[in-house]
């Protein structure tokens, strides 16, 4: 909090050391609650975990190393000065401990999720999919839920260590891969975007002779024919695996060969659909049908755990940027189109009702997986294999209903005044302003990774705070040479003026950062 006020303050151009020290002191004492003057590594990670940030978070690998190193030889833990040294560049730690992530009361939110989980667990209705023998053998009792917010706060509960196959949840992602490569127009020359109003594997095409949408079987087979069609099939499959790895925050999915073989052997309907589409000239020229079908079955047979699927859903919620790695997996336009389709066509013949009553984009698969996206907030995965007559996970649908009853996650809940539903997220305006504050703060601390993550979200590196101070101003006055170098390479405005007319060069001169002055002057003289 103090840091925020500092960045916005009228009469000072820098985040001063005093102010930074106060912030760190407050963070330290929030962990050192029994006032022993030291904190252990276990205490530190527990505090972060309560707020949703886990110790395997790829953004904190440096902090983890530094902490482990600092703790060597001191069973009691580390003191304040070592703590400051260890986390000084880790903006994520600061934000987490200050309660500035997407869901500030994360542990309260997780309690509610656990409550819903318990309520839904007693529902044992439905049957596992039996049209693919390997799926029919899955233990029907499995039940897992995972959450990942757009700030990378994570929570998992239930059978989260067991993998399940993607089945139809591969469809939105394959659509995104094709969309990313070919663009909206080309993809939709071969696939419509209307709900079909029929079952997912119905022998039906739209009035143009195309599959109705990419989220039913015919459309998904078509998408498979579009993905990287100019490279060998093995490389095309690698491309899908690579994408799932990125969506999962650098966790590679596995492949279930017996599901694949079983699926291929029982795929008469999918073969029929493909021939029907070929008869209607729906495929691009020279499409190899058998190869395309096998590729589609392989994608359905990729396996993930629930936390990976939640991270994939969170990537869509975050406009295509994975929250855990900051990598832009899809463009925001691709994510937007995919979510529009998930909203209207993601839940088989229940899609209209789901959009009306529950109101957030989702995609289910016959393995009992359900991938849910709450745009700008979080991704959720629910996995429970028993399905209703429409092919959706019984518990998945019930969980969604209860989630929608408790929280204002419906697309149009924002229209309702005096809603009784809870809103766990931070205020929208606040989070927009956060991007600016975080960027400027990251620049002043020298945290280039964080700058890149904020940039990947689409934030203009030229944005300024209330005082007209930009990231470059702060980096220049704090002596952060690498940040200055990076920002100049990213072509920010080097002559930006703050409200007192100060430029980054003036700041660097004032603070006597000779290397930075030289850098800026050299750039300006070009």
Q: Where are the alpha helices (DSSP H) in 407-494?
A: 428-445, 448-456, 471-478, 481-489
User: Which CB, 366 or 472, lies closer to ligand GLU?
Assistant: 366
Q: 62: number of CA atoms within 13 Å, CB side?
A: 13
Strand 144-149 to 154-158 pairing: antiparallel
Q: Residue 300 Cβ, how far from ligand GLU at the closest point, in Å? A: 4
- Of 200, 354, 441, 486, the one binding ligand GLU (CB under 6 A) is 200
Interface with ligand GLU, residue 306, by CB under 6 A = no
Distance CA 129, CA 348 (A): 14
Report d(CA 248, CA 313) in Å as an integer. 9
Contact with ligand GLU (CB under 6 A) among 47, 180, 246, 263: 263
Name the residue nearer to ligand GLU (CB basis): 28 or 383.
383
Q: Do residues 141 and 384 lie in contact, with contact meaning Cβ atoms separated by under 8 Å?
A: no
Residues 6 or more apart in contact with residue 224 via CB below 8 angstroms? 174, 292, 293, 295, 296, 299
* C-beta closer to ligand GLU: residue 84 or 233: 233
Q: Which two tokens stand for residue 202?
A: 């119905």
Using the minimum distance from each CB to ligand GLU, give the nearer residue, 359 or 391: 391
| CB 264 within 8 Å of CB 257 | no
Residue the block writes with tokens 């945290």: 447
Binding residues for ligand GLU, how many (CB under 6 A)?
11
Distance CA 10, CA 187 (A): 51
Site for ligand GLU in 362-391 (CB under 6 A): 365-366, 391
Q: Take residue 120 and report the two structure tokens written for it.
A: 């839904």
Report in angstroms how near the CB of residue 366 gets to ligand GLU at its nearest: 4
| C-beta of 63 vs 165, nearer to ligand GLU | 165
**Based on CB atoms, which residue is closest to ligand GLU, 24 or 366?**
366
Sign for the CA dihedral angle at 213, 216, 222, 225 comes to: positive
Q: Which is nearer to ligand GLU, 224 or 438 (CB)?
A: 224
167 binds ligand GLU (CB under 6 A): yes
Cα–Cα distances (Å) from 371 to 172, 360, 395, in that order, read: 10, 11, 13
Rank residues 123 and 201 by Cβ distance to ligand GLU and give the closer one.
Answer: 201
Exactly one of 168, 196, 225, 344 binds ligand GLU (CB under 6 A); which one? Answer: 168
Smaller CB separation from ligand GLU, 167 or 343:
167
Does residue 3 interact with ligand GLU by CB under 6 A?
no
The 275-304 contact track toward ligand GLU, x by CB under 6 A, reads: -------------------------x----
CA distance linking residue 179 with residue 330, whole number of Å: 9
Q: Alpha-carbon distance 297 to 293, whole Å?
A: 6
Decide: is 172 part of the binding site for ligand GLU (CB under 6 A): no
Task: Give the x/- contact pattern for ligand GLU in 140-159, rule: CB under 6 A.
Answer: --------------------
For the window 210-229, what string marks contact with ligand GLU as x by the rule CB under 6 A?
-------x------------
Supply the DSSP string of 171-229, one letter for each residue.
HHHHHHHHHHHHHHHHHTTT---S--SS-TT-S---TTSS-S-TTSHHHHHHHHHHTTT
Least distance (Å) from ligand GLU to the CB of residue 152? 28
Measured from the CB atom, the residue of 263 and 465 that comes closer to ligand GLU is 263
**From the CB of 200, what's the least distance to ligand GLU, in Å?**
5
- Shortest reach from residue 168's CB to ligand GLU, in Å: 3
User: Per CB under 6 A, does 270 bind ligand GLU?
Assistant: yes
Residue whose Cβ sits closest to ligand GLU: 168
Query: Which whole-number Å values give the CA distances from 250 to 318, 322, 338, in the listed order?
Result: 17, 10, 22
User: For residue 201, which of 349, 386, 13 has the smallest C-alpha distance?
Assistant: 349
What are the residues binding ligand GLU (CB under 6 A)? 167-168, 200-201, 217, 263, 270, 300, 365-366, 391
């Amino acid at each position: 909090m103090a840091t925020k006020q500092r960045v916005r303050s009228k009469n000072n151009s820098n985040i001063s050391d005093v102010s930074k020290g106060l912030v760190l002191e407050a963070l330290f004492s929030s962990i050192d609650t029994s006032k022993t003057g030291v904190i252990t590594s276990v205490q530190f990670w527990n505090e972060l975990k309560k707020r949703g940030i886990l110790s395997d978070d790829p953004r904190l690998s440096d902090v983890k190393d530094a902490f482990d190193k600092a703790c060597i030889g001191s069973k009691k833990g580390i003191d304040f000065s070592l703590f400051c040294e260890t986390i000084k560049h880790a903006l994520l730690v600061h934000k987490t401990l200050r309660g500035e992530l997407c869901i500030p009361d994360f542990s309260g939110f997780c309690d509610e999720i656990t409550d819903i989980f318990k309520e839904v667990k007693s529902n044992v209705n439905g049957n596992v999919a039996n049209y693919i023998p390997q799926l029919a053998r899955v233990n029907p009792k499995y039940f897992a839920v995972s959450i990942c917010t757009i700030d990378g706060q994570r929570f998992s509960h239930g059978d989260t260590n067991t993998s399940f196959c993607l089945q139809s949840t591969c469809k939105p992602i394959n659509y995104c891969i094709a969309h990313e490569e070919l663009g909206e127009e080309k993809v939709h020359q071969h696939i419509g975007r209307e709900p079909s109003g029929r079952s997912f594997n119905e022998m039906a095409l739209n009035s143009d002779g195309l599959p109705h949408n990419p989220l039913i079987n015919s459309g998904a087979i078509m998408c498979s024919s579009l993905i990287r069609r100019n490279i060998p099939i093995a490389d095309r499959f690698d491309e899908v695996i690579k994408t799932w790895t990125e969506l999962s925050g650098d966790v590679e999915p596995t492949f279930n060969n017996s599901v694949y073989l079983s699926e291929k052997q029982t795929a008469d309907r999918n073969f029929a659909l493909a021939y029907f589409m070929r008869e209607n000239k729906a495929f691009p020229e020279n499409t190899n049908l058998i190869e395309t079908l096998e590729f589609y079955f392989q994608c359905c047979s990729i396996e993930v755990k629930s936390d990976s699927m939640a991270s994939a859903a969170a990537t869509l919620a975050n406009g295509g940027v994975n929250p855990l790695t900051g990598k832009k997996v899809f463009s925001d336009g691709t994510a937007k189109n995919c979510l529009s389709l998930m909203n209207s066509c993601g839940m088989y013949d229940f899609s209209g009702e789901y959009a009306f009553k529950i109101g957030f984009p989702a995609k289910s698969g016959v393995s009992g997986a359900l991938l849910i996206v709450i745009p700008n907030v979080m991704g959720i995965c629910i996995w429970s294999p028993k399905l209703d007559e429409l092919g959706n996970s019984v518990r998945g649908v019930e969980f969604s209903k209860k989630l929608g009853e408790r929280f204002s996650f419906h697309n149009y809940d924002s229209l309702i005044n005096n809603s009784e539903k809870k809103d766990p997220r931070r205020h929208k305006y606040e989070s927009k302003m956060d991007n600016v504050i975080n960027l400027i703060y990251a620049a002043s601390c020298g945290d280039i990774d964080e700058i890149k993550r904020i940039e990947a979200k689409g934030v203009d590196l030229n944005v300024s705070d209330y005082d007209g101070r930009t990231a470059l101003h702060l980096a220049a006055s704090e002596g952060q040479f690498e940040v200055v170098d990076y920002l100049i390479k990213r072509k920010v405005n080097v002559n930006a003026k703050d409200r007192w007319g100060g430029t980054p060069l003036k700041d660097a001169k004032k603070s006597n950062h000779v290397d930075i002055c030289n850098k800026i002057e050299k750039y300006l003289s070009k």
